Structure 1
Amino acid sequence: MNKDVMKRVIREIKECDVIVIGAGSGISTSAGLTYSGERFQKYFSDFINKYHFSDMYSAGFYPYETLEEFWAYWSRYIYYNRYIQAPKDTYYLLYQLIKDKDYFVLTTNVDHQFQKAGFDKKRLFYTQGDYGLWQCSKPCHQKTYDNEDIVKLMVSQQSHMKIPTSLIPYCPQCGLPMQMNLRSDETFVQDEGWYQAQLRYETFINKHQNHHIVYLELGVGNNTPVIIKYPFWYYTQNNKKASYICINNYDIDCPLEIRDQSLLIKEDIHEVLQKIGENL
């Protein structure tokens, strides 16, 4: 990031009234929450040796023969991506930059790292679910369930890639197996908390749509651009006092209509946040 871009980023953050953060998987990758390579080998060597998996994500879709083995894999997956600190303090660096601003976070991430870093949970909208929640696999009702205690038991008590049968989670209403509260198909449960967060986000956007606002996009790819990327472009185009800042190792772009209002930074998010914090 050259000095001129740095100066513009710092000026926008200092002078803006409001910051809306749109975060995708790239920020968690930058924070060290990688799903392949050394980290995958460290926590899942037994599953890799048996099934020759290449990464955590694809292994989550494998048709395990038993629920005992399925939950042995998924409890570890949840634990190491939801209940422990990220290897790097990327989210904390971000929080230090915006904590004194009027902010809101829209994210497709499901790893809870924003709250771990100190972000106010009432200023967060997790659109795609949460590793920390389960739901009925049918689903027979629109409710989710915290899984922290049972996941930690599963991790501590599993043996030979299986959890005890007594720990398999079942729906308290219909008795079918529970599943992750992750948006992958039409069974995804949007519970009361989801709708409350959606309302808070929409209210925030409507309240500040004409203010001096920064739309800060971090690590958002092109898998689901309609959730963060396209709306940020639209909001920026319709507010001449708005700025669009995109930081990503890969996908950085914007329409010509907002080019003069945009700062596109193709670098590692963690390193950029460090530089901004050192110069802010």
Structure 2
Amino acid sequence: MKSTENYSDNIKRLKQAIDNADAILIGAGAGLSASAGYTYDGVCFQKYFADFNQKYGISDMYSGGFYPYETLEEYWAWWSRHIYCNRYDQPQNEVYQMLLKLIHGKDYFVLTTNVDHLFQINHFDKKRLFYTQGDYGLWQCSKACHQKTYDNETAVRKMIVEQQNMKIPSELIPYCPVCGAPMTMNLRCDNSFVQDEGWYQANIRYEDFVRRHKGSKLLLFELGVGNNTPVIIKYSFWKMTVQNPNAIYSCVNLSDAYAPTEIKRQSVCLDGDIGTILKTVS
């Protein structure tokens, strides 16, 4: 954390940047959902996965997603719970609501690497969202034999109800309607990730937003973006700031807020909890 004086000054600068912005481009990473209380371990993990923890020693949802389960029945018992608790068993959240209120009345767009659907749950306009890395609510062919995704809510809820002894009934295993291969999550983890028509339409809307606001007073508002996939949000935000002297780049992150020297004068960096900072700015 920087000194109290610098922190206070940066809070004022961020408020001013929000007020003066013609438009706001939000770049959201995992740190935003973490600040909102959504974690892959702890109480939530024990609530849904205590039996997997006991049997396999799996200690968090992230590592459990990569475990080599012996059968598809067990694989989908895990993933149906994973999807349900992160996608369908989520209420509206105070941190996301504060962010929505903060940008009220502004022309905004959200570019996110998160796959938890929390922007939609908290009533951000879905036409202003581009979730580049997939969505827990979608399935695709594991062989990516065609570029289409499938909503999974009805099937997941049925798996939750009918699974026993860490397995779903065999008849509930989802298979590709085109080639017959098992279905899998629509999450970008290798070259088989399916970018469906909805993905491309969202990409077009994002590119149109950026084009319309080239040269304008644009606030590039980066929240909780780490260095796992910096090219998607962080590097592109830096590039847009360099190219637009009227732009402001704001990075809010817990112990990892920084900007390149080239855009220092156009940057507002705040180390700290995102929820706390949003509340202070509001």
What is the CA–CA distance in structure 1 between the aligned matches of 2:75 and 2:112, rounded to whole Å? Answer: 27
Deviations 1:61-96 (A, max 9, x none): 111011111000000000111112258421111111
Matched, 1:59 2:64: yes
Q: Which amino acid aligns with 1:271?
A: T
6, 9, 18: which one pairs with 1:4?
A: 9
Matched, 1:189 2:194: yes
The corresponding residue for 2:153 is 148
Matched, 1:41 2:52: no
SS at 2:185's partner residue? strand
Q: 1:251, CA displacement in angstroms?
A: 2.2
The corresponding residue for 1:15 is 20
Matched, 1:247 2:260: no
Matches within 5 A, 1:49-198: 49-85=54-90, 88-198=93-203
Q: Is the 8 A contact 2:92 2:121 kept in 1?
A: no
Q: Which amino acid aligns with 1:21?
A: I
Deviations 1:96-130 (A, max 9, x none): 11131000000000011001111111110011010
Q: Which amino acid aligns with 2:22?
A: D
What is the CA–CA distance in structure 1 between the aligned matches of 2:90 and 2:30, rounded to whole Å? Answer: 16
What is the CA–CA distance in structure 1 between the aligned matches of 2:278 and 2:260, rounded to whole Å? Answer: 24
The corresponding residue for 2:33 is 28
What is the CA–CA distance in structure 1 between the aligned matches of 2:175 and 2:45, rounded to whole Å? Answer: 28
183, 204, 211: which one pairs with 1:206?
A: 211
| TM-score (normalizing by structure 2) | 0.96
Matched, 1:228 2:233: yes
SS at 2:135's partner residue? strand
What is the CA–CA distance in structure 2 between the aligned matches of 1:161 and 1:86, rounded to whole Å? Answer: 26
SS at 2:110's partner residue? strand
What is the CA–CA distance in structure 2 between the aligned matches of 1:109 and 1:86, rounded to whole Å? Answer: 17
What is the CA–CA distance in structure 2 between the aligned matches of 1:149 and 1:224, rounded to whole Å? Answer: 32
Q: Which amino acid aligns with 2:210?
A: I
Q: 1:250, CA displacement in angstroms?
A: 3.2
Runs of at least 5 residues in structure 2 that lack an aligned partner in the other structure: none
Q: 1:32, CA displacement in angstroms?
A: 1.1
Q: Which amino acid aligns with 1:12?
A: A
Q: Which amino acid aligns with 1:59?
A: G
| TM-score (normalizing by structure 1) | 0.96
Q: 1:197, CA displacement in angstroms?
A: 0.5
Matched, 1:257 2:253: no
What is the CA–CA distance in structure 1 between the aligned matches of 2:109 and 2:245, rounded to whole Å? Answer: 20
Q: What percentage of aligned pairs have identical amino acids?
A: 61
Q: Which amino acid aligns with 1:32?
A: G
Deviations 1:176-201 (A, max 9, x none): 11000000011000001101100110
What is the CA–CA distance in structure 2 between the aligned matches of 1:95 and 1:126, rounded to whole Å? Answer: 17
SS at 2:220's partner residue? strand
| Inter-CA distance 249–119: structure 2 relative to 1 (3 Å threshold) | same
What is the CA–CA distance in structure 2 between the aligned matches of 1:50 and 1:61, rounded to whole Å? Answer: 15
- Hey, which bits of structure 1, 4+ residues long, moved more than 4 A? none
Q: Is the 8 A contact 2:174 2:182 kept in 1?
A: yes
Q: Is the 8 A contact 2:93 2:122 kept in 1?
A: no
